[in-house]
A and B are shown apart, each in its own frame.
Chain A
Amino acid sequence: MTRVFIPRDAAALSVGANDVAVAIRREATARGLDVEIVRNGSRGLLWLEPLVEVETAQGRIAYASITPEAVPGLFSDRFLEGKPSVGHLGLTEEIPYLKNQERLTFARCGVIDPLSLSDYLHHGGFKGLRRALTLGSAAIVEEVTASGLRGRGGAGFPTGIKWRTVLNTAADQKYIVCNADEGDSGTFADRMLMEGDPFSLIEGMTIAGLAVGATVGYIYIRSEYPHAFETFRRAVVLAREAGYLGAALAGSDQRFDIDVRLGAGAYICGEETSLLESLEGKPGIIRFKPPLPAIQGLWGKPTVVNNVLSLAAVPLILEKGPKFYANYGMGRSRGTMPFQLAGNIKQGGLVEKAFGLTLREAIFGFGGGTASGRPLRAVQVGGPLGAYFPEALLDTPLDYEAFTAVKGLLGHGGIVVFDDTVDLAQQARFAMQFCAAESCGKCTPCRIGSTRGVEVIDRIIENTERTRNLALLDDLCELMVDASLCALGGLTPIPVLSAVRHFPEDFDRPAPAPLSDAESSAACNPRTLSR
């Protein structure tokens, strides 16, 4: 019997992986061949999806961009023996894009059947948990602190320090909350992990629970991710049935369980206090801080709120020790980061590397430049609140501090490439428009400032008192940075000001033809335009 791997990852499905699986099953049956189809996660070489792999004695052989029409040819060419055929790339592990990565968090993603516990155990699963069970709370927190792991959601706060605060806050109930509200455009690592290796996240959440004394975990998955939600929910049921969740965790006297919740289309719920409000069943209106969620979080109890990637990094840290993890990276950015190449990029996908890789190496070394073949003009790093960088800044290393130094942020590691057809004035306008559409409305700088921002940028584009309006935009941005309650209003000026700073020519063009009255009133109402 031959094992054939066809991803079930949503990105692979989005370009026809299910049809390919059906075609392979049909062809194998017609030819009387014994084929086992494994629906794995994605390897993250997303531009090659659907990427079909065949298990051979030499290793797994990859066939890229397979269509149902190509399937009979694959069989005729004896792809089940790994022979050359359409899309043949040789050994998957030898594909440079993959070979040149440092896959720690994503080591199993795309390799295993995401819903097979035996696969997970076979590939080192639950070793971190087993060790954590022998260590005790304080020692787990110590190891995570020593690993240098910082929050992968964007803020970069040291995970171990957050955990220590929760550990040291006495309470009758504590919670672990996994933030899987991955709303930043250009990011998909959380989704890939939940679809490709969900047990690692379950293990990470469980270890966090042991570390701080929490017995209940919640994961908040955005509704735009129906596949991730389904896969993760099934994984939780499987883990519970096998004794890896619930009472007597993995045969110990500890308990931990996970409740899977679905978001409802609000970007702001990626902000931790808004997420907590949403979990409590309320509108996702952010909370004042302090008190920190670590002290008064979900239902007022001490709560660890961590991103998917932060929690998924934990099992390996516990398995191999903090030094192993901390040996990767540069400066104060330790370990690896799953970067995501997106937008106008030839070879889009997931690149997990130690911090310190430059933007240029990521975009050209891995990504192969633009998809359109036109010159690259701008790169937005870190989602809708991240800066737009020109070509001249591509040698910036991907590192928290290096990005702060160039007035940007690493965020969740999304890298969105634009070619020379982009208009940065429009991108700046969109940043304000997005903020207006997604603002929770609690604080004035964000709620009103973003709408005023759209209007000011419109006047700049229309060439109405351009110099004065550019000064006004600067002033407005300063106010939003200083006076907004959370990162949405506080960071929206980053893409706006970076566009003005690095691409001034886009704010200095002749005015376009004027809009009709109806169009301009719609343009002033960001909600009309955006949803």
Chain B
Amino acid sequence: MSPVTEVGMNGASRRTWDSQHAARIIEGLKDQQGASLPILHALQDQFGYVHPDAIPLIADALILSRAEVVGILNFYHDFRQAPAGRHILKVCRAESCQAMGCEALVAHLQQRLGIAMGETTADGSVTLETVYCLGNCALSPAMLLDRELYGRVSPERADRILAAAMGTEAPQVAR
């Protein structure tokens, strides 16, 4: 484990849940001050979500109660407790993007993918989520697909970006 905290966002390749591997991640990070967020990020980065079995491992490592770990996990919007789709699409719905029609973009994406915000397509390809501000406010509307930021996203551009990201894996189109 490198001394620098290995943390990251969703997307890219992920391992299936492995308690032993998780325990090694926790062991490598637990001695830093305020270790719980770095640990949760590292687990989510590795597995795509924080498996319920991680809760007692973290609690033991940090000398916290399980309830405290659950409290941390639930407080932060980033942490998910079940696997997401293979791609995570976060659409900004804050004021700057509102001023440039993000709600129309959201409506389009929901219709095209056949899901509501916060849901995952039935084929598991895309999870669609709301985010409040990606810091790309001069080029609104903005969205983040996995770790890639996009600006001036029209519905057509969103379709092209999704199609390119998924390659042959075409998004499920709602009937």
Interface residues of A (CB under 8 A from B): 10-11, 13-15, 46-47, 49, 182-188, 190-191, 223-228, 233, 237, 259-267, 278-285, 299, 340-345, 348-350, 371, 380, 383-384, 414, 416-419, 422, 427, 430, 434, 437-438, 440, 530-531
How many Å lie between the Cα of A283 and that of B36 in the bound state? 10
* Residues of chain B within 8 A of A430, CB atoms compared: 95, 98
Whether B130 pairs with A531 at a CB distance below 8 angstroms is: yes
* Residues of chain B within 8 A of A414, CB atoms compared: 96, 137
* Residues of chain A within 8 A of B34, CB atoms compared: 261, 279-281
Given A14-B149, A262-B41, does the pair A188, B95 have CB atoms closer than 8 Å? Answer: no
* Residues of chain B within 8 A of A345, CB atoms compared: 138
Whether B138 pairs with A281 at a CB distance below 8 angstroms is: no
Q: Which residue of B4, B37, B139 contacts A278 across the interface (Cβ within 8 Å)?
A: B37
Whether A227 pairs with B36 at a CB distance below 8 angstroms is: no
A379, closest chain B residue (CB) = B99
Q: How far is the CB of B71 from chain A (nearest CB, A)?
A: 5
How many Å lie between the Cα of A419 and that of B62 in the bound state? 51
Q: How far is the CB of A409 from chain B (nearest CB, A)?
A: 15
* Residues of chain B within 8 A of A342, CB atoms compared: 96, 99, 137-138, 140
* B118-174 contacts to A (CB < 8 Å): 118, 129-140, 142, 144, 147-152
Q: Which residue of A227, A299, A349, A427 contacts B138 across the interface (Cβ within 8 Å)?
A: A349
Instruction: Give the most central of A191, A282, A414, A430: most B CB within 10 Å.
Output: A282
Whether B137 pairs with A224 at a CB distance below 8 angstroms is: no
How many Å lie between the Cα of A281 and that of B75 in the bound state? 11
Choose the segment among B13-21, B76-84, B107-115 that binds chain A (4+ C-beta atoms closer than 8 Å): B76-84
Can you show 7 pairs from A to B with CB atoms below 8 A apart? A14-B150, A47-B138, A223-B9, A282-B72, A343-B140, A416-B96, A531-B77
* Residues of chain A within 8 A of B152, CB atoms compared: 14-15
* Residues of chain B within 8 A of A283, CB atoms compared: 71-72, 74-76
Given A237-B4, A414-B137, does the pair A185, B142 have CB atoms closer than 8 Å? Answer: no
Secondary structure of the A side of the interface?
Answer: mixed
A15-B152, A430-B98 known; 15 new pairs, CB 8 Å cut-off, are A10-B149, A13-B148, A14-B136, A15-B139, A186-B96, A191-B135, A227-B149, A259-B32, A260-B5, A261-B5, A264-B79, A265-B131, A281-B36, A282-B72, A416-B95
Q: Which residue of A14, A185, A261 contacts B96 across the interface (Cβ within 8 Å)?
A: A185
Number of A-B contacts (CB under 8 A): 177
How many Å lie between the Cα of A188 and that of B93 in the bound state? 16
- B56 adjacent to chain A (CB < 8 Å): no
Q: Which residue of B79, B100, B137 contacts A188 across the interface (Cβ within 8 Å)?
A: B137
A434, closest chain B residue (CB) = B132
* Residues of chain B within 8 A of A186, CB atoms compared: 94-96, 137
* Residues of chain B within 8 A of A344, CB atoms compared: 99-100
- B59 adjacent to chain A (CB < 8 Å): no
- B35 adjacent to chain A (CB < 8 Å): yes
* Residues of chain A within 8 A of B136, CB atoms compared: 10-11, 14, 188
* Residues of chain B within 8 A of A260, CB atoms compared: 5
* Residues of chain A within 8 A of B149, CB atoms compared: 10-11, 13-14, 226-227
* Residues of chain B within 8 A of A285, CB atoms compared: 75
- B57 adjacent to chain A (CB < 8 Å): no
- B38 adjacent to chain A (CB < 8 Å): yes
How many Å lie between the Cα of A453 and that of B7 in the bound state? 37
Q: Which residue of B36, B79, B147 contacts A282 across the interface (Cβ within 8 Å)?
A: B36
Q: How far is the CB of A96 from chain B (nearest CB, A)?
A: 17
How many Å lie between the Cα of A266 and that of B93 in the bound state? 15
* Residues of chain A within 8 A of B100, CB atoms compared: 343-344, 371
Whether A427 pairs with B76 at a CB distance below 8 angstroms is: no
